[in-house]
Amino acid sequence: DARVTQTPRDKVTEMGQEVTMRCQPILGHNTVFWYRQTMMQGLELLAYFRNRAPLDDSGMPKDRFSAEMPDATLATLKIQPSEPRDSAVYFCASGLAVWDDRPETQYFGPGTRLLVL
Amino acid sequence: AQSVSQHNHHVILSEAASLELGCNYSYGGTVNLFWYVQYPGQHLQLLLKYFSGDPLVKGIKGFEAEFIKSKFSFNLRKPSVQWSDTAEYFCAVNFGNEKLTFGTGTRLTIIP
């Protein structure tokens, strides 16, 4: 049963520290999405990649957030420096885009619960 | 602007009751529609999706949804809910681009 995996599952850190979250998409999927979920804002799309290339990161605070895909099996989301308002659950999702009119179905990972003190 | 609305923020039902959760979107073009469920402390799981064809879509766990284009709606239904259906339900819409726009979610509580 193929799944998206994310590490760490939980992270507690102090304000100002760097946080790196990792995501392993489902093998063969070519699209990776990063979302942030909070009580106040709900689910927000931060960024997404197709074939490892960033397609849209307009939802991401540029000054402190960065997202990369070093290879097809790993996506990272980094926050530096972290702030208390970054506390949220960060979800990664992957999908397989094919070249027709249909969007890919997104499969979500278990999330990283981040608490910045 | 393209948006997704879930007007029911919290729904409380007794077991065996019938369920209908509303989802409306604002966009006149072609859309692709999804319902996801998030059980307490877990990640989002796909319940069902609609791309084209029969507007009545059947998903997992006995859920179904009906796409009514004239009403810009994609309501989720289940004839008889169980305690294990307690979760948060998200409607999501693809507005012809590559992103999904999620509704704010509906929290469903089933009372045994």
Task: Spell out which residues of chain A touch residue B40, defining contact as CB-CB under 8 Å.
Answer: none
B26-40: pLDDT as tens digits: 977 888 999 999 999
C-alpha to C-alpha distances, B91 to A12, A61, B4, B44, nearest whole angstrom: 30, 25, 8, 11
Residue A13 has a pLDDT of 97
For chain A, give the percent of residues with pLDDT over 70.
Answer: 95
* CA closest to A110 among chain B residues: B43
Distance in Å, alpha carbon of B4 to nearest chain A alpha carbon: 12
Helices (H) and strands (E) in chain A, counts: 0, 11
A114 pLDDT higher than 70: yes
Distance of CA A8 to the CA centre of its chain: 12
Using an 8 Å Cβ cutoff, are B111 and B12 in contact? yes
Distance in Å, alpha carbon of A62 to nearest chain B alpha carbon: 19
Averaged over B72-93, what is the pLDDT? Answer: 96
**How far is residue B98's CA from residue A78's CA, in Å, rounded to a whole number?**
23
| A:54-93 residues touching chain B, CB 8 A cutoff | 55-56, 91, 93
Residue B47 has a pLDDT of 95
